[in-house]
Structure 1
Amino acid sequence: MSTSTLLRPHRLRGRRRTALVAAFALAATGLSALGATPAAAVDGPTPIATVPLGASPENLSVAPDGKHVYVSNAGVFGGNPGNTVMVVDTATNTVGATIPVGNGPTALAVTPDSAHLYVVNRGAGTVSVVDAATNTVTATIGGIGDPKSVAVNPAGTRAYVVDSSGSNGSVRVIDTATNTVAATVPVGPFPRDVAFSPDGARAYVSNVGNSTLGVIDTASLTVTGNVALGAQPYALTVNPVSGAVYASHGAGDSVSVVDPATLAVTATITTGGNPGGAAVSPDGATAYVPNIGSNTLSLIDTATNTVTKNASVGGGPVDAGVSPDGNLVYVVNNGSETLEVLSVGTAVPAVTGISPSSGPTTGGAAVTVTGVNLAGATAVTFGSTPATGVSCTATTCTVTAPAHAAEGVDVRVTTPGGTSAVSPATRYTYLAPPADIDVDLTTQPQLGLLLPYLTYTLTARNTGPGTVTSATLTATLPAGASATNLSAGCTSAGATVTCTYGTIANNASASKTFRVPLHLLTLGPVKVTGARTASAPTDPNHANDTASVTCTALSIILVTCP
C-alpha cells in the first residue's frame, strides 16, 4: 500500500473513516493511534446508552423525524463482514432491523421526510435506495465508479453522490423521483464529501487531491468557486443557522471553518486528533467533532470557534449526529463497534399529555407521556413514586405506572435540563378497583287486626373485586303507600325510601329495613322495587342493580309473599 493511499482514508461518507485506516495514517507519520496523547477530557456530555453494533460500523444518519438512527456496516479496506445498514430505534436505543445492501456500504443519508434512505456502496460502485417504512431496498443505482459519500438536498428532490474516481472526480446528481443519474458535475481531484447549504442553493465538496473546498451552484450545476483549505479535507458539515462550513482534516488534528458569504477560512480549530464526521446542533450553537486519534468528542462553541469540551467516548469514534431537538448526540465508534448515545440537552422538559390519563391503584399500566425535551430522561415520577420501564425520545416517554393510592397525581419528567412543571395536562388519576353491588330485597308480613305491616330488608351485597366506599339504594313503594320505622341512614319521601351505605368489603353485605303499613282497603298486589342509584367506586355490572318483591293482599290479615 502506498503512502498516498495511507493518507487518503477510504471512506468518510465524505464524512468518516475507519479506525484501522486512521491507525495506519498515524503510523505513516511516525505516531501510533494507541500511543497518541488524547486531549484532556472534561465532564459531559452525559452517557445515556451504548448500542452494540458489530460488523465494522462506518457512518450514521439521523432521521429528521428523530425516530431512527441508521448505521452502515462495512469491511475495512474492502473487507466484507457486514454489507448491511442497522436501524436503531431511538425510543428504545436498540437495533430494530438490519437491512442488507450492497458491498462495502459507507455513507448514507435520509430524505427530509424520513421516508427513504440513500446508501453508498463503495465496494459495488452503487447506491442503494431503502424504503424506511419497510426497511427494504427498492432501487439500486449503479455505474458510479468510486462512490464516497451522499447528501440529499433540503427539498428532497436530489441526492448528490461523490464519485472519487481519481483526479477527475465528480458529483453525480440523482433525481429522487426516478432514482436515476440526472447530471454529472466535474469537481476537484479525489473528492471525498458533500454537504448542502441550508437553503440548498449550494453544495460543498471536499477535494482531498488539491486540499480545496469546491462550491457548486445547484441551479446551474457548475462549480463557482474553490476555497483553499489545509491538507486533506475529508468530512464536511454545514451549520444549519449560519451556513458556515466545517471541514475536518482527518489526517491531522484540526477543523477549518469557511464563511459562506466570503468563502474564506475564518478559523482553524484544533481538536483531539484525526477528526471525523462532525455534526452541528439545530440551533447552530455547537459543533460536535469525533476524534478517532484520541477517543474523544470535541464540543465547539460556534460563536467563538473554540473547543469547550473534549469528552471521552468509545474506541475509534468516526462519525456523529444530533437528534432533531438537539438534546442527544449519537457517536459511531468503529473500534468498539458501538453507537454511543449522549445527552447534551439543557432545555427543561415539558409534559403536554398523558395517555391513558387514569389507571388502577395496583399499577402496571402502560402509559405514554408526550411533551418536548424529554430525551435523556433520568426519571419519570407519578406523584413522588418513580415509574419503571422508562424509555424516552425527544417527544415521547413510554413507562409502566407504579402502584399508588386512589387519587390524582402529577406526572413529571426529569432530564439533565431539569424537571417538567405541573399543569392540568400532567394529571394522572389512580382508580380503585371496581366494586359490583348486587341489590337484594326481601319482605316479611307482620299481620294482625290492629297494626298489620310488611317489613322490607334492602341489602347491598358487594361482589367485588374492590371495596365499596359508598352506595345509595332506593325503594319504590306502591302509589299512596309510605314507610315507617326506617333504619339509620334511610329517609322517606312520599312513596320513595332512600338508604345510604358506607364501606362494604369485598364479598360482604349491608342491610337496611323499613315498614310499609297495610290499610283496611289494601287489596291485590303490593310491589316494592329496590335499585342502586349511586355507588363508588365504579359498578361494572348493571344487570344486578335492581330487585323487586310482590306480595298479594287478600285482606288486611291475609297477605302472601314469596
Structure 2
Amino acid sequence: MPTQSITNWTGSRRRRPPHTRRGGRRPRLWPFTALILILLAAVAPPATGAQQPVFAYVADFASDQVSVIDTSTNTVTATIPVGDGPVFLQLSPAGSRLYVINSGSNNVSVIDTRTDTEIARVPVGSNPIYSAITADGSRLYVANAFSANVSVIDTTTRAVIAIISVSGIVPFYPLLSRNGTRLYTTNSFSDNVSVIDTRTNTEIATPSTGAASRPQFAALSPDGSRLYVADAITSQVAVIDTTTNTTIALIPVSGLSPYYPVLSRNGTRLYVANFASNNVSVIDTATNTVIATMPVGAGPEFAALSRNGTRLYVANFASNNVSVIDTATNTVIATIPVGSGPFAPVFGPDGTRLYVANELSNDVSVIDTATNAVIATIGVGDSPEWIALPAGTAGLAAASGQPAVPSAQGQPTTQQSQHSDQHTKVRHQTESLDPVTTTSEQHQSDNSYAHHTNIQSAPTIIGMDGWTAKEHPRKRRSRAHMSPYNRKYQHQ
C-alpha cells in the first residue's frame, strides 16, 4: 500500500501547499483555514410576495475576509474584511447578525447582514475556534483554545460579560443544551468534556471521554439526554448521560480517526466519518453498537444529512469528491467530483442545493441534489473552509474502560510516557494506542505548544501531521485547525 500524506507542510505566510494559501498550513484539529458557509434567508419578503435572494457567507481563512454569495445567481456580491484568520461563522437566529470567529487576532467580528459591513470587533481569549449561540440570540459562547476558557458575549452590547475558566486543555467545540441552561465544551487535550451551568457561568462537571482520548466534535440527541463525542485518537465515540453528567458507553467504531458525528432526525442513528480509514460508521443509539460501515472517498471529515433523512452527503477532503449515502440501505449511491479539498457541506433552505467549500481550490461547489451533479463553481477568497447553517436549513449540526485498537500486527496495545527536560524547560508527553501515536510538548519558557500525530494502517503509515503554537504579542498570523490528521496551531 503506498504512503499517503495529507497534512505535511511548511511555508511562509501566504504560500499554499497542501492546506493553506498564505503561510503555513491552516490547522485542521484545529486552528484553521476556514470556510464557513452560511445560508441566510431574507428577514421578510417584500409586499409583492416576491422571494428575496438567499445569501451564502463564506469565511475565507487565509484572505481575512468573508465572501457574500447571492445563491440565486451563484455570484459573489461582496467581500467583507474581518479579523485575522476567520475560522468559524455563527449566524444569529434572526439572521440580522453574522459573528465571525477570528482565530489569529483573538476577536469576534460582528457583521450587519443587511449592509454587509463589520459593525464591531469584540476581543476574546487566545485562539478562539468555535462558538455557540442561544436560541434567542442574546448570548454567544466562544471557546478559546489556548487560554483554556470560554468567553460569553452579550450580543446586544457586543461586549464580553463573563470569562468561564475550564479545567480542560484546549477547549474546542461548544454545544448548548436544548433549554440553554448547559454548555458542553469538548477539551481536545484533556480527555474530557466541560459541563457549564450558563446561569452561573461556572464549570460543574467534567465527564471523561476515555483514557488517552482527544475529544473534538460532538452531537446532542434530539431530547438532549445524550451527548455523543467523537475521539480522533482512540477511534471511539463516548456517550455521556447529560442528566448525571457521566459517561455511560465508549463505542469502538469500525474505522480510524472518527471526526464529525451526525445524528438522524429521530436520534436512532449516529453517522461518523472516519478520516483515516476512508469510511463511515453507522451506530444504533439504542444499543450503542456499530451496525454498518460504508467505504467512501479519501479523508472524509464533515457530512450533511438531508431534511427527510434519506441521504447523507460526505465531503472527502483527500479525494476531492462527495459521497452520497442512502441511509435506508447504508450504501453509497453516487460519488460527485468537486473542487480540491472539500470541507463542510451545507444545504440551501429548500434542500435542493448543497454547497461545498473547497479549501484548496478556493471555490464553492453547488450541487443539485436531485441529479447529484455540480451545477456551479463559485470562486471565493483563499482557503474557504467551515460551513454553518441558519435556522430552517438542513445539513451540519446547528448543531469505563478503554477499548483496545488493533495494532499493525493485530495485537491491541496501549502505552503512555512522560518526561521533562530541565535544561530547556520543555515538557514531553507521548501517548500511543496502536495504530495511533501522539507526541505533545509544552515549552514553559515561551508558552508554546507542539503536537504530532502518526497514524498507521497495517505496516503502512498513511498519515502524519503536527501542530505548533506560540503566544507572542508581535506574532500576528495564526493558523488554527483541529482534525485527526491535521493538528496545527501556529503563530507567525
TM-score bin (small chain): 0.5 to 0.7
In the alignment, the residues of structure 2 paired with residue 327 and residue 84 of structure 1 have an alpha-carbon distance, to the nearest angstrom, of 35
Which of 101, 126, 134 is the matching residue for 1:111?
134
Residue 131 of structure 1 aligns to which amino acid in structure 2?
D
Q: Secondary structure at the match of 1:155?
A: coil
The alpha-carbon deviation at position 245 of structure 1 amounts to 1.4
| Cα deviations by residue, 1:46-85 (Å, 9 ceiling, x for unpaired) | 98355758854434455555556655343xxxxx3x4344
Over 3 Å counting, the alpha-carbon distance change for 1:329 and 1:114 in structure 2 is farther
Which of the numbers 265, 284, 287 marks the counterpart of 2:290? 265
Residue of structure 2 in register with 1:287 after alignment: 312
Tell me the distance in 2 between the aligned counterparts of 1:301 and 1:213: 23
For residues 170 and 394 of structure 1, do their structure 2 counterparts lie closer, same or farther at Cα, with a shift above 3 Å needed?
closer
Residue 127 in structure 1 maps to residue 153 in structure 2: no
In the alignment, the residues of structure 2 paired with residue 119 and residue 334 of structure 1 have an alpha-carbon distance, to the nearest angstrom, of 23
Q: Aligned partner of 2:233: which letter?
A: G
RMSD over aligned CA atoms reads 4.3
- Map 1:297-308 onto structure 2 (within 5 A): 297-308=322-333
Closer, same or farther: CA 199–64 of 1 in aligned 2, 3 Å: farther
Q: 1:7 to 1:47 in 2, by over 3 A?
A: same
Asked whether the equivalents of residues 254 and 268 of structure 1 are also in contact (C-alpha less than 8 Å), the reply is yes
Distance 1:104 1:394 in 2: 27
1 CA distance for matches of 2:91 and 2:250? 29
Q: Cα distance, 1:236 vs. partner?
A: 1.8
Return the alpha-carbon distance in structure 2 between the equivalents of residues 46 and 291 of structure 1.
26
Secondary structure (helix, strand or coil) at the match of 2:319 reads: coil
Find the aligned partners of 1:334 and 1:223 in 2 and give their Cα distance. 35
Q: Report the residue type matching 1:157 in the other structure.
A: T
Give the whole-Å Cα distance in 2 for the aligned partners of 1:57 and 1:337.
15
Q: 1:326, CA displacement in angstroms?
A: 4.3
Q: Is the 8 A contact 2:7 2:19 kept in 1?
A: no
Residue 290 (structure 1) shift: 2.6
Whole-Å separation in 2 of the counterparts to 1:318 and 1:106:
16
Matches within 5 A, 1:148-547: 148-166=172-190, 169-188=191-210, 189-229=213-253, 230-313=255-338, 315-322=340-347, 326=351, 329=354, 331-335=356-360, 340=364, 342=366
Give the AA of the match of 1:250. F
Query: For each residue in 1:490-537, what CA deviation from the matched residue of structure 2 results, as whole angstroms up to 9, or x when unmatched?
Result: xxxxxxxxxxxxxxxxxxxxxxxxxxxxxxxxxxxxxxxxxxxxxxxx
* Aligned-partner Cα distance in 2 for 1:145–1:222: 19
Query: Does residue 74 of structure 2 align to residue 48 of structure 1?
Result: yes
1:153 maps to amino acid:
S
Deviates most, 52-61 or 212-221: 52-61
Cα distance in 2 for partners of 1:151, 1:289 equals: 22
C-alpha distance 151-336 of structure 1, shift in aligned 2 (>3 A): farther
Cα distance between partner residues in 2 of 1:252 and 1:92:
44
Counterpart-to-counterpart distance in 2, 1:198 and 1:63: 21
Task: Tell me the residue number matched to 2:15.
Answer: none
2:101 aligned partner, one-letter code? S
Separation (CA, whole Å) in 2 of partners of 1:91 and 1:314 = 30
User: Displacement, 1:170?
Assistant: 0.8
- What's 2:101 paired with? 72
Q: Structure 1 residues 65, 72: CA separation in 2 closer, same or farther (over 3 Å shift)?
A: same
Name the CA shift for 1:163/1:206 in 2 (closer, same or farther; >3 Å). same
How far is 1:186 from its partner? Answer: 1.7
Q: What TM-score comes out, normalization by structure 2 length?
A: 0.53
Query: TM-score, normalization: structure 1?
Result: 0.47
| Distance in structure 1 (CA, Å) of the matches to 2:241 and 2:8 | 27
Greater gyration radius? 1
Residue 319 of structure 1 deviates from its aligned partner by: 2.8
Q: What one-letter code is carried by the residue in structure 2 that aligns with 1:214?
A: A
Q: Distance in 1 between matches of 2:183 and 2:208?
A: 16
- Helix, strand or coil: the match of 1:247? strand
With over 3 angstroms needed to count, the CA separation of the structure-2 counterparts of 1:182 and 1:232, relative to structure 1, is same
**Match in the other structure for 2:452:** none
The Cα of 1:214 is off from its aligned counterpart by: 0.8
Contact 1:157 1:175 in 2 (8 A): yes
Offset at residue 179 of structure 1 (A): 2.1
Following superposition, the deviation at residue 162 of structure 1 comes to 0.8
Distance (whole Å) between structure 1 residues aligned to residue 169 and residue 358 of structure 2 = 28
Q: What is the deviation of 1:198?
A: 0.9
Note the C-alpha offset of 1:158: 1.0
Q: In 1, Cα distance between the equivalents of 2:341 and 2:323? A: 14
Residues 47 and 342, structure 1, Cα contact 8 Å, conserved in 2: no
In the alignment, the residues of structure 1 paired with residue 197 and residue 356 of structure 2 have an alpha-carbon distance, to the nearest angstrom, of 30
Write the letter of the residue equivalent to 1:293: A
Contact 2:90–2:100 (CA under 8 A) maintained in structure 1: yes
Q: Could you say if the C-alpha distance between residues 313 and 63 of structure 1 is closer, same or farther in structure 2, counting changes exceeding 3 Å? A: farther
8 Å contact kept, 1:64–1:114: yes
CA distance in 2, matches of 1:205, 1:8: 27
CA–CA separation in structure 2 for the residues paired with 1:8 and 1:187: 28
Q: Percent identity?
A: 36
Contact 2:256 2:275 in 1 (8 A): no
Equivalent residues, number? 312
- 1:58 pairs with 2:87: yes
What is the alpha-carbon distance in structure 1 between the residues aligned to residue 73 and residue 279 of structure 2? Answer: 25
Correspondence for 1:140: 163
> For residue 228 of structure 2, what is the amino acid of its counterpart?
Y
Query: Which sections of structure 2, spanning at least 5 residues, go unmatched?
Result: 1-5, 10-17, 31-70, 371-375, 377-389, 393-492
> Using the alignment, how far apart are the partners of 1:107 and 1:49 within structure 2?
27
Between stretches 322-331 and 170-179, larger displacement belongs to 322-331
Aligned partners of 1:244 and 1:163: how far apart in 2?
25
For residues 97 and 306 of structure 2, the distance between their equivalents in structure 1, rounded to whole angstroms, comes to: 17
In structure 2, the CA distance between the partners of 1:117 and 1:337, relative to structure 1 (3 Å rule), is farther
Taking the aligned partners of 1:141 and 1:132, their CA distance within structure 2 comes to 17
SS at match of 1:235: strand
Q: Which amino acid aligns with 1:124?
A: S
Provide the rounded CA distance (Å) in 2 between the counterparts of 1:90 and 1:328.
22
